[in-house]
Chain A
Amino acid sequence: NAGVTQTPKFRILKIGQSMTLQCTQDMNHNYMYWYRQDPGMGLKLIYYSVGAGITDKGEVPNGYNVSRSTTEDFPLRLELAAPSQTSVYFCASSFVPEETQYFGPGTRLLVL
């Protein structure tokens, strides 16, 4: 079982460039989440989804977009990269919010 997978592992972007962070889970979870983690800080929720076609904003959604066309995939889109988006991004999934969230390995993003 692969669990939650993320690609790429690491990426350097120039200011103003765009990219998509990929996230896939094979556990048939309805709920999926995107977090960012800045150095020495906890996780901040960017967006989440309760099922295919349904997404909602988290605590820090500005500068990001998401879509959920299938149960398995939940990509995160950065349209105009800014240095403030330098962070580690984690995707997670769960059956229901009250239970364990399983995290992917993370994507380290550097915007210069």
Chain B
Amino acid sequence: QKEVEQNSGPLSVPEGAIASLNCTYSDRVSQSFFWYRQYSGKSPELIMSIYSNGDKEDGRFTAQLNKASQYVSLLIRDSQPSDSATYLCAVNGLSSGSARQLTFGSGTQLTVLP
């Protein structure tokens, strides 16, 4: 069983719509959660971090965390073609049980159609 699961997609949404990206994780003691965006051929860059239950908003991006359900999501409002990328969910504290490592999901490929 994978420790961080994401739908691989591809997920396609029309321009201006809300894109919803989902991630589940296996380790209940995980404390830090991250969403990275990766354009094709480029390195990952941080979009959002979230540490406590609830919603965290930053511009068009909202991260949602539900530790009881072991679920973290990313909503992108007013999606733009420039949002087309692969979105990686990352969780701190899995695998070896060490809090020093991030475990990444395999990513969800998002395409925003003009």
Contacts and interface: CB of A to CB of B under 8 A. Distances in A.
Interface of A: 31, 33, 35, 40-45, 48, 50, 56, 58-59, 90, 97-101, 103-106
A48 B46 CA distance: 19
A24 to B, nearest CB: 15
Contacts of B101: 45, 48, 58, 97
Given A59-B95, A90-B44, A48 B107 contact: no
Contacts of B92: 97-98
A41 B44 contact: no
B49 A99 contact: yes
A27 to B, nearest CB: 14
15 contacts: A40-B107, A41-B106, A42-B105, A45-B95, A45-B103, A56-B98, A56-B100, A97-B32, A97-B100, A98-B31, A103-B43, A103-B44, A105-B42, A105-B43, A106-B43
Contact of B104 (A31, A42, A98, A106): A42
Contacts of A33: 102
Contacts of A45: 95, 101-103
Contacts of B103: 45, 59
Contact of B106 (A40, A48, A99): A40
A105 B45 CA distance: 10
